[in-house]
Structure 1
Amino acid sequence: MLRRLPKKLLALASIAAAVILATAACGGSSSPTAKPAAGTPAHAPFVMGIIHVGSKTDAGYNQAHAEAAAQVVKNLPYVKLLETENIPENADVSRVIENMIAQGAKFIVPASFGYLDPALDTASKHPDVMFDHPAGFKQADNFHTYWAASDQYSYALGMAAGKMTKTNKLGFIAGFQIPNIIDSVNAFTLGARSVNPKAEMRVIYDNAWLDSAKEAASTNALADQGVDVVTMIVDSPITVVKTAESRGMYTVGFHSTAVQQYAPKGWIGGIGFTWGGFFTREVQAIEAGTWKSNPKNLIGSLTTDMVTLAPFGSAVPDDVKQTVQAKIQDFKSGKAQVFAGPIKDNKGNLKIAAGQVGDPSLVNTFDWYVEGVVGQ
């Protein structure tokens, strides 16, 4: 999705102008160039910094970024990693960036949307240091932005939810009601209703990206309404999946492929962001002197190595797995589109006509829910 409200809403404007990474561009693999042969002179150290807004073991947004940074070091052992966590979205991030630069950092990832303005301001003072920022809507010669679209996976996993629900009531817990969240809600609902027209979606917004008490309360509220499959977009999905499993609900995760360990019995599947290959290529481009010629805003898709499907849970029947995988292949080949008409909103208005496909800019502008979403 898509980082941190209220500023996060502005980040979505970047998607429409994004350059979609083709499979060839990303290589479909996170493998870096080959390691030097024995006897080759040692590679000069390269210092990379990454700054997390939360815990790097949150099994969610921050952990996905932390694992990516660790993968860079594994791929390129000469990289020295500087890493901080639990840094608030205020001027503190500028202090952390300056400290990293003082230690020789040449590539820094301020990995939360709320870091955008202070990080960009600090970057302007250090033109020889390159920055990658998640989902930002402002760029500069040494400050690029990135993200990965996930609505195709949301649709496919919605199909799994639609097949596995017994009550026909699905739930979605999210931080804020913003366009890219609505995009995911709509995609998931469309997928569910494509295999189960009786499926309905109930959405709760916590007005916070991380609030365990609210997440538990929202999950319990959905369970009390008869919801038996729940998904989420919050920084750490741990509370939601654990609470859901305790209430006998199935879950579909988001952000990291690590969360299923907390609720294995109720786990259906999930979406995980895998930035390691991308960051590795960024380091190599900086070293090669080609980084500034890259597009300033890169958006990956399911045909790249920036987002992936988490493993299915043991409760998922083979036919459900096959349905999900077949739809993903249709998306990859271009045979299927998420927002292919006819599509009505939940008030009965035709929004996308038959034979038409929703414009990609919908992810920036969604202010309506598809048929099947309960409420406004």
Structure 2
Amino acid sequence: MKKLLTLLAILTLLMAGCTNDQKPTEPAATPAATPATTPATTPASGKLVKAGFIYVGPVGDAGWTWAHDQGRIAMEKAPYVEPSTFLESVPEGAEATRVINGLVKKGHNLIFTTSFGFMDATLDVAAKNKDVVFMHCSGYKTAENVGTYFGRMYEPRYLSGLIAGKMTRTNTIGYVAAFPIPEVIRGINAFTLGVRSVNPKATVKVVWTQTWFDPGVERDAADSLLDVGADVLAMHQDAPATLQAAEARGAYVIGYNSDNRKFAPNAFLTAPVWNWAAVYTKTAAEVHNGTWKSEKIWWGMKEDLVRLAPLSDKVPADVKALVAEKQKAIIAGTLIPFSGPLKDQTGKEVIAAGVHMDDGALLGMNWFVEGVQGTIPK
């Protein structure tokens, strides 16, 4: 009898073990760290986000792509965001379509395409994948599952122009520009308006490179501007070549995209920079919560999507104070850079006194303001 009871006990334990294996314990949910504007939630209560990013340049450019990648890294800190994927140096055009399709096939439910030239490829893939959310940077086309996002970079551009106008001694300022699209033209104009507001005698010379990232071409363009007397350079490029040219030639330089002063420690004054985390964390939270809707995001300094990097010690105290004053006014909405009266580079008034350019006019800008020297290629 004793042996029989022992055998029954062993069988009972084995059966209990089998039952537990069939019903695993649910993992405990971890509270999600969401932005203040998003209702508190947990990973278990919403969709896990698997994000993919398409970059036009290399992450190591220390500029445009690097800044986007910093936003991606910040987004990944949310507990409902799975490890993300990024693909760098993707050509704009047919190759972009193939790459975006590849991300969809690998199960990404949120895809960011981070260059203007990816616009049509994004729309094409999105039309065939309605269950995926797409966000395109700097474009103007949307769909039910495609939104756009960009920043009012012209605001810190204007502020950087104040500094350049105060720091130049030759009254010749050079601007190394990528492509003649409204985004770049708008930045040149805002910068020039800042320059001329404090130094009406100064002019801004523009050289086009027709590339976002080509250090050799950018360096040649920067040197050509220094050769004609520019003592301050500004840039809309992704490589640090313009900064390096200014450093080598004893000029000042305004950077772009990120705080890239390390490339020109003696020449650097400041830089208009991006804080892409502001958009990426918001979008991921909305996809997780099921509240995402297509929209056209165009935020400025008020929303902290665009900033001005800390000013160099070479900028005089009175200029720093002026910039701080104007920055507060921009954030408050009392200073709007593109306000009339405004003249084009021929001296013709195009915006009347008291009139503010609307977003449509800003997004389609294809003319230069007074004080810019250069032409806009077709």
TM-score by length of 1: 0.84
> Could you tell me whether the CA contact under 8 Å between 2:330 and 2:336 is conserved in 1?
yes
Number of the residue aligned with 1:239: 241
- Match of residue 374 from structure 1: 373
Indicate the residue corresponding to 2:13 in structure 1.
Answer: none
Q: Does 1:327 align with 2:329?
A: no
What corresponds to 2:90 in structure 1? 87
> For residues 36 and 208 of structure 1, do their structure 2 counterparts lie closer, same or farther at Cα, with a shift above 3 Å needed?
closer
Cα offset, 1:301, TM superposition: 1.2
Count of residues paired in the alignment:
342
Deviation for aligned residue 1:35:
8.8
Q: How does 1:235-314 map to 2 (within 5 A)?
A: 235-236=238-239, 238-257=240-259, 259-292=260-293, 295-314=294-313
Structure 1 residues 89 and 176, CA, compared in 2 at 3 Å: closer, same or farther?
closer
CA apart distance, 1:362 = 3.0
- 1:146 is aligned, of 146, 149, 164, to 149
**Regions of 4+ moved over 4 Å:** 29-37, 40-45
Whole-Å separation in 2 of the counterparts to 1:355 and 1:98:
48
How large is the Cα RMSD of the aligned pairs?
2.4
- Tell me the CA shift for residue 84 of structure 1: 1.3
Change over 3 Å in CA distance of 1:43–1:177 after alignment to 2 = closer
What is the deviation of 1:49? Answer: 0.8
Structure-1 residue corresponding to 2:185: 182
Distance verdict in 2 for CA 1:137–1:334, change over 3 Å? closer
In the superposition, relative to structure 1, how do residues 358 and 101 fare at CA in structure 2: closer, same or farther (>3 Å)?
Answer: closer
Aligned 8 A contact 2:49 2:80 in 1: no
CA distance 1:77–1:249, shift in 2 (3 Å): farther
> How far is the alpha carbon of 1:41 from its aligned partner?
7.0
Shift of the 362–52 alpha-carbon distance from structure 1 to 2, 3 Å rule, reads same
Shift of residue 34 of structure 1?
Answer: 9.5
Is there any run of 5+ residues in structure 2 with no aligned partner, and where? 1-33
* Cα distance in 2, alignment partners of residues 120 and 244 from structure 1: 40
Give the 3 Å change call, closer, same or farther, for CA 75–251 of structure 1 in structure 2.
Answer: farther
Which structure is larger by alpha-carbon Rg, 1 or 2?
A: 2
Deviation at 1:36, TM superposition (A): 8.1
* Offset, 1:181: 2.1
For residues 302 and 286 of structure 1, do their structure 2 counterparts lie closer, same or farther at Cα, with a shift above 3 Å needed?
same
Q: What code does the residue aligned with 2:368 have?
A: Y
Q: Summarize the Cα distance change of 1:202–1:73 in structure 2 as closer, same or farther, 3 Å threshold.
A: same
Aligned 8 A contact 2:49 2:287 in 1: no
Stretches of structure 1 that go unaligned for 5 or more consecutive residues are 1-28
In terms of mean alpha carbon deviation, does 49-58 or 73-82 score higher? 73-82
**CA 1:56–1:35 in structure 2 vs 1: closer, same or farther (change >3 Å)?**
farther
Partner of 2:160: 157
Deviations 1:245-272 (A, max 9, x none): 1111111122223x22111211111111
| Partner residue of 1:103 out of 103, 106, 122 | 106
Displacement of 1:368 in angstroms is 3.0
* AA matched with 2:84: L
Structure 1 position 31, deviation (Å):
6.5
Counterpart among 178, 194, 201 of residue 191 in structure 1: 194
Alpha-carbon shift at residue 53 of structure 1 (Å):
1.6
Look up the SS of the partner of 1:330 in the other structure.
Answer: helix
Distance between the aligned counterparts of 1:98 and 1:369, measured in 2?
39
Q: Give the Cα–Cα distance (whole angstroms) in 1 for the partners of residues 214 and 314 of structure 2.
A: 28
Spell out the pairing of 1:35-74 with structure 2 (5 A cutoff). 45-74=48-77
- Rate the CA distance shift 1:179–1:108 in 2: closer, same or farther, 3 A: closer
Q: d(CA) in 2 for partners of 1:272 and 1:170? A: 20
Q: Please give the secondary structure, in 1, of the residue aligned with 2:50.
A: strand
Q: Which has the higher contact order (CA 8 A, sep 6+)?
A: 1
Letter in 1 for 2:306: V
Q: Equivalents in 1 of 2:36, 2:224: separation in Å?
A: 44
Q: Tell me how far 1:352 sits from its aligned partner.
A: 2.3
1: distance between equivalents of 2:315 and 2:35? 28
CA drift of 1:43 comes to 8.5
State whether structure 2 residue 134 is matched by structure 1 residue 131.
yes
Following TM superposition, by how much is the alpha carbon of 1:30 offset from its aligned partner in structure 2, in angstroms?
Answer: 6.4
Distance 2:202 2:237 in 1: 23
User: Counterpart of 1:105 in 2: which secondary structure?
Assistant: coil
Q: What letter corresponds to residue 308 of structure 2 in structure 1?
A: L
1-structure distance, mates of 2:78, 2:308: 22
